[in-house]
Chains A and B, each alone.
Chain A
Amino acid sequence: MPTETTNDRLKTYRDLARRIRAHCLRMTHDGASGHAGSMLSMAELLAVLYTRILRVDPQNPRWPERDRFILSKGHGGGAVYAVLAELGFFPGEWLKTYYQNNGRLLGHISHHVPGVEFSTGSLGHGLPVAVGMALAARQVRATHRVFCLMSDGDCDEGSTWEAIMFAAQHKFDNLTAIVDYNRVQALGHMEDIIELEPFAKKLSLFGWAVRQIDGHDCAAIEAALAQLPIEPGKPSFIIARTTKGKGVDWMEDTVSCHYRYASEEQLAAALAKLGADA
């Protein structure tokens, strides 16, 4: 039986994930913008990362000893903005300016926003940079860790695999890659485009320590990320199985949720279902 404390923690994660989803649905609705599905699929991952795992300080975003977190799937940046606002890195009001003229928040994640380590938007960029940060950290024996959250589409890019090979070669066990493995890409399902399976086996043969988890199960996410590296002397890879558009029935596991945003009615219904205030 889980202890009361564990239950409290899990409730905190789930509540935060719900609020992230609500923010993302509102932001994409107000901005008439895409990528809601990509944001919804990583809500629990971000909730656990930012509440329990990442050593970050909202009052001092550039704190030198912070853990480095790079979102390589920059199109899902709205979800990171949401969690950063929830944590107090910047005022929640900023979320209303997402995608708006003269707004604070770009459609793709931007380092001009407090708490964002690195800008991405074109896939295949995050992991090489994260590897460079891990290299630099090890060279000065720094204790902070480097995390890179990727999409499965990121793993179509050759540059991602270049970085995978290099990180294993140099045994960067201060580096953790997480894939938001929702298996839906921009034009279809992965099995019809580029099938990555047997993904865990490939990564393992490439020299990484790999764990597969349910990316919506906060307890499983916490358990996996609380014990890093998975194996000393190897970079860690977490394949988090998720559902694109998670939490909104008409979005779940669809290609269209990469593009569509909720109408007024759909937004109200989705927020009601999430239990958030519209």
Chain B
Amino acid sequence: MRSAFNETLLQLAREDSRIFMILADIGYGEIEPFAAAFPDRFFNVGVAEQNMTGIACGVAMEGNIAVTYSIANFPTLRPLEQIRNDVCYHRANVKIVIIGGGLAYGALGMSHHSTEDLAIMRALPEMVVVAPCDIPEAVAATRAMIAYDGPVYYRCGYKDEPPVHDGPIQFQLGRAITVREGGDAAVIFSGTVGYNAKLAVEKLAGRGIACRLVSMPTVKPIDQEAILEAAKTGIIVTVEEHNIHGGLGSAVAEVLMDRGAGNVRFKRIALPDVNVCKVGSQEWLRAQYGMSPEAIAETIENTLK
């Protein structure tokens, strides 16, 4: 997915001379084509994420589109105050891109896991939060993010993510995408863990349970109507590779309560509120925390009981 993002950004930069890439010494093997094509719009600030974000804000204040880029939580948590005070307060046209959302960097450990980002970015005024699930969503989200005038947080995957969508998608910021229809329950996911949700729903279909599967690539502003539509099944299960506090599941629950649709059975599949210190790959770690396809299917089934 990171390659799809970088290729799309490069293509957009050829069409729009306002696009700058300001990064913090991360991106080996991915960012070189942009650097070579646009040396006057590509800046590696060194290992200095606060400066990266401040510079990007200054560049954007001059009428440009500045993309900051690094891995996991480096471009979000280290410069959080720059994002809040500089980018969001001034509604600067800065796009904060992380590679390896969730547990993508697996065995590299908790310093390289981005598992609180949706909650934290979602709490910032003016910030749009996107987390594409597969390459078609990633490409469409990149285009939509650049076309949008204002701060966006973009949680990119890593590499070799399998497709969740079988055909072409209609992507719009703030809109959910229905992957599969079904009336027994609704499963809403954000990000690349959506593939496991898809496999889970397919397993359940084999057992005669028809789930509505909804991709929510924009976590903020969230698609309220899609959530209300999903609530008509009477059962909502959310799936996210994120701490259980404050992410997709919380956002969906807020809508259900605010809109008077709280009368559903509701279950959040997310990381427990722990520091992940287990050693293993992304897929292995997902399984450890109930996010394997089988575990997701089981949780959905239990919620149906």
Task: Show the binding face of A for B, using Cβ within 8 Å.
Answer: 111, 118-122, 124-125, 127-137, 139, 158-159, 162-163, 165-166, 170
Contacts and interface: CB of A to CB of B under 8 A. Distances in A.
A133 B57 CA distance: 8
Identify whether the interface residues of A are mostly helix, strand, loop, or mixed. helix
Contacts of B22: 132
8 contacts: A111-B90, A118-B86, A128-B51, A128-B57, A136-B61, A162-B48, A166-B48, A166-B55
Interface residues of B, number: 29
B53 interface: yes
A131 B55 contact: yes
B267 interface: no
Contacts of B41: 139
Interface in B191-247: none
Contacts, number: 90
A133 B61 CA distance: 7
Contact of A135 (B50, B58, B81, B89): B58
A162 B52 CA distance: 9
Contact of A125 (B40, B59, B66, B82): B82
Nearest to A128: B54
Contacts of B58: 128-136
B39 to A, nearest CB: 11
B90 A163 contact: no
Identify whether the interface residues of B are mostly helix, strand, loop, or mixed. helix
Interface centre among B55, B56, B61, B85, by most chain A C-beta atoms within 10 angstroms, is B55
Nearest to B55: A132
Contacts of B89: 119
A83 B56 CA distance: 29
B43 interface: yes
A131 B59 CA distance: 8
Nearest to A157: B50
A38 B57 CA distance: 26
Contacts of B82: 125, 128, 159
Closest 6 CB pairs of A and B: A132-B58, A128-B54, A162-B51, A136-B62, A132-B55, A162-B48
A131 B51 contact: yes
Interface of B: 20, 22, 40-41, 43, 45-46, 48, 50-51, 53-64, 66, 81-82, 85-86, 89-90
Given A118-B90, A135-B59, A166-B45, A129 B81 contact: no
A133 B90 contact: no
A136 B59 contact: yes
Contacts of B57: 128-129, 132
A158 B49 CA distance: 11
B90 A128 contact: no
A159 B59 contact: no
Nearest to A144: B62
B50 A162 contact: yes
B46 A129 contact: no
B81 A122 contact: yes
B90 A132 contact: no
Contact of A124 (B20, B50, B59, B66): B50
Nearest to B66: A132
Contacts of B46: 162, 165-166
A130 B54 CA distance: 8
Contact of B54 (A119, A137, A139, A159): A159
